[in-house]
């Protein structure tokens, strides 16, 4: 008899998901899968819309990384118009991206992931959350709140609002930054650097304490993909795509607009989220990952000094490519430091208050592809337009989707290692959720395709298919 | 200090932006947490079933069977239900999918998008995946909603204000003004000669965008947002939904555009040109409210 364990909803993630585990009576796990529960159909209803509206429509794919969707669409739509981007607008968009990284990475570490480390994976579920942290360590909670606020203030200054940016116009941006804005934001960005350093100092000993769990959970050796710039620097906004093999060699570097030559998407029967793979190796072998860990793996160095020192220390300890899934948390904090340093750098440059905000553009029939690194990994937007600039075809591949296969493989590997009974304890099932949480997946993003729902659920099935546990 | 008010929160067909709006109260959230206790909130907590609570908050619309099940569960478990954000209130942007047949949408996503490789035209079906409902619908189509907080996202100040007024037992009231009433741009005469897309012309930073010819939904949209978008140089797209006592946001916008186009006063206005000029009326006028508009309603004949 095989029974199904369902963990549902998977919690402390963004969106709706369920884990299904097939277990025999002996306790042997035969399979484990991630079910993504929702699909909303953005690709369909974008058709017929004016392409310049796309950056203001796709922001509603995800409320956590609307900036990334805004910017990937912005880059794509600028290509549709084909007139380039005004220089100051480009700087402001990049700064917007760093603001979002500060908000999103701080959110994930303090509000979603940290409770597993502070209260242990077996801690009381009533306490194992951000409210528990607020009660146990109010000073730390206040620091986390202030840290994230800095990011949102940078986003609001450049995007018009802290959620769902509105400042895109083809080839430009609707508003610039004033000297007053810079005087207000620069000290904040400097404070973010200090908070980043403090967070790393706090977290590194905890990561060491969990090194056994880090080694065990969610292993899925794979290739890694991410943007690099200037020949190999870590990059979040622009640059070329680099794919790194399992042995650390560079498999390929390509221009983002050529993505269709290299990436295809598979449709799982058990999930509304599609699963991209590296075409050359096919669906069976073409697994790759994106996300902070992937970016830290594909880059040769980081252009800001403090983050680069952290990278070298990380690389010495875990090699290149680092494959352990829970190292995502560590990589994310290095990027948090990098984003804070970059925000300081950009706000210190007088060019940020420039006035070259817009350029003249004309609609045309064209294909526009825009790629940025969202906090959770590579994000691809692709639009075809007619000669009036109306969308005829849209394609969006979100960060979390790239990791779909890796999460499924990781869940199965982990389940086979840590589950040996048809009725595992809550803490064991929480470890399954931790595999997913490490990816900081955004199922809101992943389900842009057709609307459904996604708190993480775990379901355990008997072989008969009869559901046994749902949590 | 008395016992904390218990609150349960869930997102259904949503993007998490409303939850981020709650967190964007920043430091102001901490004193609120002295008064209320979240006992179920999957984005932040591992409690898997909603317990009984005084207040329930739902963000997102109802797109599939799981969304509906969760909405009914939350409604059953709480005394006061708050619909948070434009998806829960009106169906929101994902409601634009209602323009399309469900099968056409699924085929687009899982078969014909450029990067999809799916030779057997398989659609997802296993492990009890939720059944998609024909349309995206707001929460109020299925259950009684006690308080609506619209916006995409709602402003943190509105959320904080709503929570504090509910805690004090006071009714919570939405703004009766429009976005135009809050907008700092100068308004003079409403006489549009030509409708412009956002990339056309050179917009004047001080003057009303609508009067310059840009489609801006401020006059047909409930205020409360502080007119953030027009203040940042971007036209209002109507995320707070219709104004007080104005059920049809899109109709109000069509009325605003046509009257300012000179249709009221000038009998020589070329109707065909005007209609051709108004590009993407559905996307522009119903971006957040298509599921509650009259457009998708049918006449039902009385059964004798």
Interval B114-138: pLDDT, tens: 999 988 888 887 777 888 898 999 9
B271 touches chain A (CB under 8 A): no
Closest A-chain CA to B215: A53
Closest B-chain CA to A157: B232
B30–A41 C-beta distance less than 8 A: no
Among residues B16, B20, B10, the alpha carbon closest in space to that of B71 is found at: B10
CB contact residues (below 8 A), chain B span 8-37, against chain A: 10-21, 23-24, 26-27, 29-30, 33, 37
Distance (Å, whole) CA A150 – CA A451: 32
A444–B16 C-beta distance less than 8 A: yes
CA angle, A161 as apex, A453 and A71 as ends, to 5°?
70
Which tens digit of pLDDT belongs to each residue from B218-265?
999 999 999 999 999 999 999 999 999 888 999 999 989 888 877 666
Do residues A111 and A130 make contact, with C-beta atoms less than 8 angstroms apart? yes
Distance (Å, whole) CA B88 – CA B11: 9
Beta strands (DSSP E) in A118-272 are 168-169, 172-173, 223-229, 233-234, 240-244, 250-254, 263-266
- Rounded to an integer, the average pLDDT of A29-50 is 87
Rounded to the nearest angstrom, the minimum Cα separation between A204 and chain B is 23
pLDDT at B186 over 80: yes
Do residues B278 and B214 make contact, with C-beta atoms less than 8 angstroms apart? no
The highest-confidence range among A86-95, A425-434, A457-466, B247-256, by mean pLDDT, is A86-95
Chain A neighbors of B197, CB-CB under 8 A: 50, 52, 389
- Rounded to an integer, the average pLDDT of B282-298 is 89
pLDDT confidence bin for A456, thresholds 50/70/90: very low
pLDDT at A39 over 80: no
Do residues A80 and A366 make contact, with C-beta atoms less than 8 angstroms apart? yes
A41–B108 C-beta distance less than 8 A: yes
B104–A452 C-beta distance less than 8 A: no
Among residues A469, A464, A470, A467, the alpha carbon closest in space to that of A2 is found at: A464
Q: What is the per-residue pLDDT for A323?
A: 81
- Rounded to an integer, the average pLDDT of A426-447 is 72
Distance (Å, whole) CA A471 – CA A10: 8
Chain B neighbors of A162, CB-CB under 8 A: 20, 24
Which tens digit of pLDDT belongs to each residue from B150-184?
999 999 999 988 888 888 877 888 999 999 999 99
The pLDDT mean for chain B works out to 90
pLDDT confidence bin for A451, thresholds 50/70/90: very low
A361–B199 C-beta distance less than 8 A: yes
A451–B94 C-beta distance less than 8 A: yes
**DSSP annotation of A228:** E
The pLDDT mean for chain A works out to 88
pLDDT confidence bin for A223, thresholds 50/70/90: very high
Chain B neighbors of A4, CB-CB under 8 A: 127
Among residues A20, A26, A154, the alpha carbon closest in space to that of A98 is found at: A154
- Report how far apart, in Å, the C-alpha atoms of A79 and of each of A85, A227, A366, B148 are: 9, 18, 8, 40
Q: What is the per-residue pLDDT for B44?
A: 81
- Rounded to an integer, the average pLDDT of B42-54 is 87
Distance (Å, whole) CA B121 – CA B117: 9
Distance (Å, whole) CA B173 – CA B154: 14
Distance (Å, whole) CA A10 – CA A17: 6
pLDDT at A93 over 80: yes
CA angle, A193 as apex, A188 and A196 as ends, to 5°?
120
Chain A neighbors of B122, CB-CB under 8 A: 267, 269
Do residues A304 and A342 make contact, with C-beta atoms less than 8 angstroms apart? yes
pLDDT at B304 over 70: no
Which of A16-20, B17-21, B25-29, B254-258 shows the lowest mean pLDDT across its residues?
A: A16-20
- Rounded to an integer, the average pLDDT of A259-278 is 91
pLDDT at A231 over 80: yes
Strand A2-7 versus strand A17-24 pairing type: antiparallel
pLDDT at A442 over 80: no
A163–B21 C-beta distance less than 8 A: yes
Chain A neighbors of B234, CB-CB under 8 A: 56, 160, 166-167, 169, 174
pLDDT at A326 over 80: no
Distance (Å, whole) CA B67 – CA B12: 5
Which of A120-134, A197-211, B203-217 shows the lowest mean pLDDT across its residues?
A: A120-134
Rounded to the nearest angstrom, the minimum Cα separation between A315 and chain B is 32
Q: What is the per-residue pLDDT for A86?
A: 97
Q: What is the per-residue pLDDT for B276?
A: 86
CA angle, B66 as apex, A69 and B115 as ends, to 5°?
40
Which of A86-90, A145-149, A239-243, B267-271 shows the lowest mean pLDDT across its residues?
A: B267-271
Which of A201-205, A230-234, A335-339 shows the lowest mean pLDDT across its residues?
A: A201-205
**DSSP annotation of B184:** -
A9–B234 C-beta distance less than 8 A: no
| Percent share of chain B, pLDDT over 90 | 60
pLDDT at A360 over 90: yes
Between A410 and A447, the more confident residue is A410
């Amino acid at each position: 008899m095989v029974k199904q364990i369902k963990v549902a909803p998977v919690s402390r993630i963004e969106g709706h998901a369920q884990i299904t585990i097939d277990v025999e009576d002996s306790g042997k796990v035969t399979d484990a899968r991630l079910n993504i529960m929702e699909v909303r159909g953005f690709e369909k209803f974008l058709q017929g819309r004016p392409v310049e509206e796309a950056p203001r429509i796709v922001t509603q794919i995800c409320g956590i990384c609307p900036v990334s969707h805004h910017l990937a669409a912005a880059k794509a739509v600028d290509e549709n118009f084909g007139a380039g981007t005004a220089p100051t607008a480009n700087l402001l968009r990049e700064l917007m991206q760093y603001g979002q990284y500060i908000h999103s990475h701080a959110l994930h570490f303090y509000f979603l992931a940290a409770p597993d480390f502070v209260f242990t994976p077996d801690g009381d579920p009533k306490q194992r959350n951000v409210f528990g942290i607020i009660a146990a360590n109010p000073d730390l909670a206040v620091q986390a709140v202030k840290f994230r606020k800095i990011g949102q203030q940078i986003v609001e200054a450049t995007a018009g609002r802290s959620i769902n940016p509105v400042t895109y116009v083809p080839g430009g941006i609707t508003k610039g930054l004033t000297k007053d804005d810079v005087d207000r934001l620069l000290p904040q960005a400097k404070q973010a650097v200090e908070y980043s350093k403090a967070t790393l100092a706090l977290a590194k000993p905890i990561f060491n304490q969990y090194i056994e769990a880090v080694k065990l959970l969610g292993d899925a050796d794979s290739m890694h993909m991410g943007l690099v710039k200037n020949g190999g620097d870590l990059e979040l906004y622009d640059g070329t795509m680099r794919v790194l093999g399992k042995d650390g060699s560079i498999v390929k570097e390509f221009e983002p607009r050529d993505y269709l030559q290299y990436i295809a998407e598979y449709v799982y029967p058990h999930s509304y989220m599609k699963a991209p793979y590296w075409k050359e190796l096919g669906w069976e072998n073409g697994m790759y990952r994106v996300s902070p860990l992937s970016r830290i793996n594909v880059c040769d160095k980081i252009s800001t000094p403090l983050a680069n020192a952290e990278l070298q220390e990380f690389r010495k300890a875990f090699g290149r490519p680092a494959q352990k899934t829970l190292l995502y948390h560590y990589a994310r904090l290095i990027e948090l430091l990098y984003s804070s340093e970059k925000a300081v750098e950009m706000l210190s440059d007088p060019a940020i208050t420039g006035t070259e905000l817009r350029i003249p553009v004309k609609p045309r029939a064209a294909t526009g592809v825009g790629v940025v690194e969202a906090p959770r990994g590579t994000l691809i937007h692709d639009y075809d337009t007619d000669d009036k600039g109306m969308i005829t075809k849209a394609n969006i591949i979100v960060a979390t989707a790239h990791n779909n296969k890796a999460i499924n493989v990781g869940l199965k590997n982990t389940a086979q290692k840590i589950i040996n009974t048809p009725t595992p304890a809550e803490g064991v099932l929480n470890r399954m959720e931790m595999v997913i949480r490490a990816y900081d997946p955004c199922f809101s993003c992943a389900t842009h395709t057709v609307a459904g729902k996604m708190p993480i659920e775990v379901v355990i099935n008997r072989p008969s298919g009869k559901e046994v546990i749902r949590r | 200090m008395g016992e904390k008010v218990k609150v349960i929160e869930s997102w259904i067909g949503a993007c998490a932006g409303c939850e981020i709006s709650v967190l964007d109260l920043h430091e102001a959230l901490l004193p609120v947490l002295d008064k209320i206790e979240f006992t179920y909130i999957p984005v932040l907590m591992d409690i898997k079933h909603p317990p009984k609570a005084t207040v329930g908050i739902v963000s997102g619309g109802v797109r599939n069977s799981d969304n509906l099940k969760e909405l009914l569960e939350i409604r059953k478990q709480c005394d006061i239900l708050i619909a948070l954000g434009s998806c829960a209130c009106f169906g929101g942007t994902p409601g634009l999918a209602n323009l399309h047949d469900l099968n056409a949408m699924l085929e687009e996503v899982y078969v014909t998008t450029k990067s999809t490789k799916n030779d057997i035209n398989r659609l997802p079906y296993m492990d009890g995946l939720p059944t998609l409902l024909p349309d995206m619908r707001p929460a109020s189509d299925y259950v009684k909603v006690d308080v609506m907080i619209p916006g995409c996202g709602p402003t943190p100040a509105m959320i904080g204000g709503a929570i504090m007024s509910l805690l004090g037992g006071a009714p919570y009231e939405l703004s009766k003004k429009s976005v135009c009433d809050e907008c700092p741009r100068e308004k003079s005469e409403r006489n549009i000669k030509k409708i412009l897309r956002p990339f056309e012309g050179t917009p004047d930073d001080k003057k009303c965008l609508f009067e310059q010819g840009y489609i801006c939904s401020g006059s047909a949209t409930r205020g409360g947002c502080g007119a953030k978008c027009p203040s940042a140089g971007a036209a209002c797209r109507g995320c707070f939904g219709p104004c007080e006592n104005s059920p049809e946001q899109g109709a109000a916008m069509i009325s605003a555009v046509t009257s300012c186009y000179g249709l009221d006063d000038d009998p020589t206005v070329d109707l065909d040109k005007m209609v051709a000029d108004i590009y993407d009326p559905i996307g522009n006028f119903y971006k957040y409210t298509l599921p509650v508009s009259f457009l998708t309603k049918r006449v039902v004949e009385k059964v004798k």
